[in-house]
Homo-oligomer: A and B are copies of this chain.
Amino acid sequence: MTVKVLTIKEDILGINKEKAIKNRERLDRYHVLAINIMSSPGAGKTSLILQTINRLKSKTRVAVIEGDIASQIDADKVFQHGVPVIQINTAGGCHLDANMIEKALDNLPLEKIDLLLIENVGNLVCPAEFALGEHRKVMLLSMPEGDDKPHKYPLMFTETDVVLVNKVDLLPYLDFNIAAFNQVVNGLNPRSKIFPVSCKTGEGLEAWFSWLEKETKHRVYDSQAVGP
């Protein structure tokens, strides 16, 4: 007896690349840096966004797009931090797509925004496959999810610019091998940066803020150099 492995390919991709390119051109015209934030449900995307707004809003004009299947719990939290926010409800859809982002951009004051944080639907699968027009992809892995996730959801790790390993405050109570995790992620994607953080205690977030500030500045510089 051996393990039987069946590989069954199903086409779940819509064609939204063209619209993503248009979104990207529009964001570039307004010198907005857009970050697509992805993770499993409950890995800490909203907490990361709230921490980031608090830290950066004195010098960076932040706006947020919240993606959820249902509810506007997250948008309400962001709204209380005084930045423009759009809630997208996908009504069952398991990821954001470029069409949804286009509609959200129609409702945002782009000329008054430097940094657009897009919280995707909580899902480690489909969001990685749909470009939104973002400049950078960021994913959170919550430590309690386990260090084997890069093996099981490789596309998300291959596509991302930054992996935030969140809930590091729980590490003493978990069997999570950080060295092994880093090695697998680096194997899949050598350019990805890995920051262990706790969005609850703030531990490790300075590295994330520094990266983000550098990207925002670089983006503004780029846009000034290249023109709209």
Interface presence of A50 (CB below 8 A): no
A93-B12, A125-B121, A144-B170 known; A103-B73 Cβ under 8 A: no
Contacting residue for A73 out of B75, B89, B142, B152, CB 8 A: B152
Interface presence of A48 (CB below 8 A): no
Contacting residue for A72 out of B3, B40, B79, B142, CB 8 A: B3
Interface presence of A91 (CB below 8 A): yes
Docked CA distance A153–B75 (Å): 16
> Among the listed stretches A24-32, A63-71, A203-211, A220-228, which one makes contact with chain B, having 4 or more residues with CB under 8 Å of it?
A63-71
Docked CA distance A167–B75 (Å): 28
Interface presence of A86 (CB below 8 A): yes
Docked CA distance A98–B169 (Å): 41
Interface presence of A132 (CB below 8 A): no
Return A22 CB to nearest CB of chain B, in Å.
17
Q: How large is the interface on A (under 10, 10 to 19, 20 to 34, 35 or more residues)?
A: 35 or more
* Contact string against B for A residues 42-53, beta-carbon threshold 8 Å, 1 for contact and 0 otherwise: 110000000000
Residues 146-195 of A contacting B (Cβ, < 8 Å): 146, 148-149, 151-155, 167, 169-170, 173
Return A172 CB to nearest CB of chain B, in Å.
9
A4 touches B86 (CB 8 A): yes
B6 touches A100 (CB 8 A): yes
Return A121 CB to nearest CB of chain B, in Å.
7
Please list 9 pairs of residues, one from A and one from B, whose beta carbons are closer than 8 Å in the complex, sorted by A's number: A5-B88, A8-B100, A41-B153, A43-B145, A69-B155, A71-B152, A122-B152, A125-B126, A126-B126
Question: Beyond the given A8-B90, A9-B91, could you list 11 further A-B residue pairs with CB under 8 A, ordered by the A residue number?
Answer: A4-B87, A4-B107, A5-B89, A6-B104, A8-B100, A41-B145, A69-B125, A71-B152, A92-B155, A144-B167, A170-B173
For the complex of A and B, 4 pairs with smallest distance between CB atoms: A42-B145, A94-B125, A144-B144, A9-B91
Interface residues of A (CB under 8 A from B): 1, 3-10, 12, 14, 40-43, 68-73, 75-76, 79, 84-94, 97, 99-100, 103-104, 107, 121-126, 129, 142, 144-146, 148-149, 151-155, 167, 169-170, 173
